[in-house]
With several copies, the nearest count.
Chain A
């Protein structure tokens, strides 16, 4: 099983599985204890400067934005971010100067809406380094290996490309077929942030709709901070135990944050707030504009509830609920501009 090629990307979040086991033994517990806290405390306690952070969800979907804003508020620095279809989370963190490294699967873009001004500016100026490239499946399987406690997962992507050359993966000759195969190294992020529709106070989480990478990502995490639309009773969890996507043993902090994914989408609950996303995309074209955005929406408010008020309050939230429920059409500045 000869090594054919070794990517030169930095092995972000890789731990020898024995070292990870030792960390788990020393830091995680099977105790069923109340893990409720505040976003402020969770960020203070679990996200030191320099952490390797991964966000649950995907793009602008199911993102723990209250935690992202709190990281900005606490001026965390030198974070390494898993650019696993990281969009508004990564872009605002970069815009606020919290980030020094990114491993990019999909980063620096807002999907259909356009590219990220802040993210691209930071990378092009050298302020943020892309230390490794991978693909979405590449990231997915880094977390699968991390969850499984093995050093790598075999895959057939990345081969033959510069993505492999700049990744942290290796290609080897598979001893079963004699053909080249990629070995995707495990990742155990220092902190994973997730927003879920409901969980109990111990951290047993249910998620509606697609899981994206979150099943594996939650299990690969060292620290897992969960915000939730609603804290429900333990009995409700136990009534349908097959609905528990993340059991409590992985969870370190639970915080009830209604609309905690805003301005991102929460499936079945509320749509993207394209107005806020659009505002960010527009003002973040300059550092000064980004700073004004944070002055207004992060530094200028004491918590997430006050931010939601600024973003339009109950009326806006009702609108987003109705758009998600297909009862109203979305409003989007980038769409309005198209009309002109």
Chain B
């Protein structure tokens, strides 16, 4: 993708950052979400409040943190508090945006980061929920970033670590999860999806430049709905790429591959 003047990571970060609205709050992890949040702050959303689950609230992040609890996450913060505080803040409804990654993702936005294969006799053990189940349960709008292929976008997750829309319309509420929460967008290297598909399923709403619907279908295990007016995402600008490399991640912690 280098020939396009931007890398896949730069594209994902740029597209994700544009979803973040000014003067809202975002509970982010390190990695791509962190860069998306920082990029949003430095472009269209200077009033974005970035929060970390371990207690950092509103830091002036000097250099990209490599952990969610790293001292960079509360550098000159408005508050260095605790997980109890931040998770309560989220549960009580103060968090606008959450970010999630996934090893497997199903059409309802349910996520697996726990185990591939059987739980008690796993083919591959993954780290588990971490804060993902909490973010996916509490945040008003969750953005999922995943590199999509047929093994990742699956009909059924081996293990549902984090709730998406469970088995469809109304299922979150029936399960007792907070109202007005749940997956908002999925961003992959191919395009952007919302959950406007039938019964709260993933629906392709935008594709990155040069991608076709057939590309998306070939990288998805389930049938995918396509929005009537399919948009093309705006690629990262030279200015965004400069900000990312000069100001946000000069060491290349995430940007280098």
- The residues of B that contact A338 with a CB separation of less than 8 Å are 252, 256-257
Partner of A59, one of B68, B121, B133: B68
Q: Please give me the residue from chain B that is nearest to A128 by CB atom.
A: B125
A210 touches B130 (CB 8 A): no
Stretch at the interface among B72-80, B185-193, B211-219: B72-80
B31-60: which residues lie under 8 A (CB-CB) from chain A?
31, 47-49, 53-60
B82-141: which residues lie under 8 A (CB-CB) from chain A?
82-85, 87-89, 91-94, 96, 110, 114, 119-134, 137-138, 140
B77 touches A160 (CB 8 A): no
- The residues of B that contact A179 with a CB separation of less than 8 Å are 176
- Smallest CB separation, A210 vs chain B (Å): 3
A267 touches B71 (CB 8 A): yes
- Smallest CB separation, B31 vs chain A (Å): 6
- The residues of B that contact A60 with a CB separation of less than 8 Å are 67
B130 touches A135 (CB 8 A): yes
Question: Would you give the 0/1 interface string for A199-219, flagging 1 where the beta carbon is closer than 8 Å to chain B?
Answer: 000101000011111111001
Where the two chains meet, the residues of A that have a C-beta atom closer than 8 Å to any C-beta of B are 17-18, 20-22, 24-25, 28-32, 57-61, 83, 85, 104-109, 111-113, 115, 119-120, 123-124, 126, 129-130, 133-138, 140-141, 144, 146-150, 155-163, 166, 171, 174, 179-182, 202, 204, 209-216, 219, 237-239, 241-242, 244, 247-249, 265, 267-268, 272, 324, 326, 329-330, 335, 338-339
- The residues of A that contact B166 with a CB separation of less than 8 Å are 160
- The residues of B that contact A248 with a CB separation of less than 8 Å are 78
| Number of A-B residue pairs at CB separation under 8 A | 300
User: With an 8 A cutoff between CB atoms, is B69 at the interface?
Assistant: yes
CA A76 to CA B37, docked complex, whole Å: 43
Q: Please give me the residue from chain B that is nearest to A337 by CB atom.
A: B256
B134 touches A59 (CB 8 A): no
Partner of A150, one of B91, B114, B126, B172: B91
- The residues of A that contact B120 with a CB separation of less than 8 Å are 129-130
Q: Please give me the residue from chain B that is nearest to A181 by CB atom.
A: B176
A148 touches B92 (CB 8 A): yes
A137 touches B55 (CB 8 A): no
CA A215 to CA B86, docked complex, whole Å: 13
CA A32 to CA B46, docked complex, whole Å: 10
Q: Please give me the residue from chain A that is nearest to B131 by CB atom.
A: A136
Partner of A159, one of B58, B76, B163: B163
13 pairs, CB–CB < 8 Å, chain A vs chain B? A30-B94, A59-B70, A61-B69, A105-B130, A119-B125, A124-B123, A149-B91, A160-B176, A162-B161, A237-B78, A238-B60, A272-B67, A339-B252
User: With an 8 A cutoff between CB atoms, is B7 at the interface?
Assistant: no
Chain B interface size, as a band, is: 35 or more
User: With an 8 A cutoff between CB atoms, is B233 at the interface?
Assistant: no
| Given contact pairs A25-B93, A136-B83, A268-B71, a sample of 8 additional A-B residue pairs in the complex whose CB atoms are under 8 Å apart | A17-B93, A25-B140, A59-B69, A149-B93, A180-B175, A209-B55, A210-B80, A249-B49
Task: Evaluate whether A120 and B125 lie within 8 angstroms (CB atoms) in the complex, with A30-B23, A156-B177, A160-B172 already known.
Answer: yes
B159 touches A162 (CB 8 A): yes
Query: Main secondary structure on chain B at its contact with chain A?
Result: loop
CA A151 to CA B119, docked complex, whole Å: 27
B127 touches A247 (CB 8 A): no
- The residues of A that contact B134 with a CB separation of less than 8 Å are 135-138, 157
- The residues of A that contact B84 with a CB separation of less than 8 Å are 140-141, 144, 213, 215-216
Looking at A130, A160, A215, the one whose CB has the most chain B CB atoms below 10 A away is A160
B133 touches A158 (CB 8 A): yes
B69 touches A133 (CB 8 A): no
User: With an 8 A cutoff between CB atoms, is B30 at the interface?
Assistant: yes
- Smallest CB separation, B133 vs chain A (Å): 4
CA A326 to CA B53, docked complex, whole Å: 23
User: With an 8 A cutoff between CB atoms, is B237 at the interface?
Assistant: no
B78 touches A238 (CB 8 A): yes
A163 touches B96 (CB 8 A): no
